[in-house]
Structure 1
């Protein structure tokens, strides 16, 4: 069942899945993954020290590899975009269910549980919110790869990297191989201000973006619609947020957030 954003009444089953304890607290327990932090400060994120992004590089490369093949430009009509959006909503629901149910049963983690310090996949200390977010992102992106290979083969990329120049308003796509070389030589400054959406639909050329999607996985309260993250003070994009930068860089009217149970939002 898909909940409508703004609904006050919630079906009993959904309440069981998403109930959270206590009043709303500061946003640290809402961070959906360590990778999300990389998007606001890529030069200092954990991946720079050798940690993989949420989706293994082999899968990210596979999803983009078809883009390097000369292919006919694909029109993204409203019907196909709706199919893609619904498929990604299903992936978000699947990720939430597969990660939360085995760990917490039919309840959501509490804010305190979300704030707890735990060991991440690379042995680093992170919050439980970030750990759960990483796991949900991994499931969602693998699901997205499977579904989009059916709906839009060679016309999508998962976690692609783009550089956006504020002065020239120019956007440059970096291939996974280019990003790997930059990281290997430690030239992290070259990735400053990079944008890494979860899912990009394109014509077959990742530089020709047609639609942008980000998964959002709040830890405790999934009944509250997610918001685009503000960039912190000192960041290249300080004073703006993810959604605004996606609109500028990719020339899309409405980049889409995908959240479990609530579905697509803007």
Structure 2
């Protein structure tokens, strides 16, 4: 509870650290701070797809009881990730809005906010936790930070394997990843192309008292005019993608 003492409500554009924007993860040009968000520093896309054989056959169904277990596990991961990172950086107190806005330099020399740095650390911790928990709850039926291409004209969504993403990056052909979608956690049938549910972690910096809305895509983005939740629903045919936020849990 001590970590929740974060003061009144503040503008999201100033004090939140959200999921890394999908375009930021795949296109460095989109990593500049966009209106209405704090983009997390991009990192190499890490995907854990455990599809194959009997495991794939065993996870084709996703019933309500299992979904509740998965959601609870990811809520625990979000709580743990925030507590761990805040304790390491601030001890027994939460960061102030001023501290969240403070500008730093990352390892590549880019200017980022402290909120972005903390958000990256929390996402890393939360995804490691998710891998461990989902490997027990849903072996063979999940991926972390998989990459998908969505064509709004045709409505077609294509999963890109980690190897293919790596090849695109080595070629320097980042335009091929324009508009790609990279959810934090995807539940699937054992085949990452057959998506069953989508989860994204959201980590507010200085205000834990309100639910963070789905991120709006900024002007110039291929999905401008839509938000992250809208695009997940369209691309993956998922009615209610889920946000996971420390202490407040799941929201839709």
Q: Give the structure-2-normalised TM-score.
A: 0.88
Contact 1:164 1:194 in 2 (8 A): yes
- Are the equivalent residues in 1 in contact too, given 2:149–2:160 (CA < 8 A)? yes
C-alpha displacement of 1:124: 3.1
Pair 1:23–1:246, CA change in 2 (3 A): closer
Unaligned runs of 5+ in 1: 1-13
Asked if 1:52 corresponds to 2:43, the answer is yes
Cα distance, 1:20 vs structure 2 = 2.4
Alpha-carbon distance, 1:25 to partner: 3.6
Query: For 1:228, which of 193, 196, 214 is the aligned residue?
Result: 214
Aligned counterpart for 1:99 among listed residues 69, 85, 89: 85
Matched pairs, number: 239
Tell me if the contact between 1:41 and 1:192 (Cα under 8 Å) persists in the aligned partners. Answer: no
> Cα distance, 1:17 vs. partner?
1.1
Shift of 1:236: 1.0
In 2, Cα distance between the equivalents of 1:153 and 1:126? 36
Deviations 1:15-72 (A, max 9, x none): x212224662451321335xx13436832256xxxx633x6x4xx2xx21x2255731
Residues 88-237 of structure 1 mapped to structure 2, 5 A cutoff:
88-237=74-223
What is aligned with 1:39? 23
Distance 1:227 1:40 in 2: 18
Structure 2 Cα separation of the partners of residues 23 and 253 of structure 1: 29
Q: Tell me: CA distance 1:77–1:106, structure 2 relative to 1, closer, same or farther (3 Å).
A: same
* Alpha-carbon RMSD: 1.9
Cα distance in 1, alignment partners of residues 9 and 233 from structure 2: 33
Name the SS for the 1:145 alignment partner: helix
Runs of 4+ residues over 6 Å off in structure 1: none
Aligned equivalents of 1:240, 1:150: Cα separation in 2: 35
Q: Deviations over 1:186-213 (max 9, x none)?
A: 1111101100000000000000000000
1:90-145 deviation line (CA, Å, top 9, x unaligned): 00000000000222223221111001112335443311000000000000000000
**d(CA) in 1 for partners of 2:112 and 2:105?**
6
Structure 1 match to 2:34: none
Q: 1:259 aligned to 233, 238, 245, which one?
A: 245
1:249 aligns with 2:235: yes
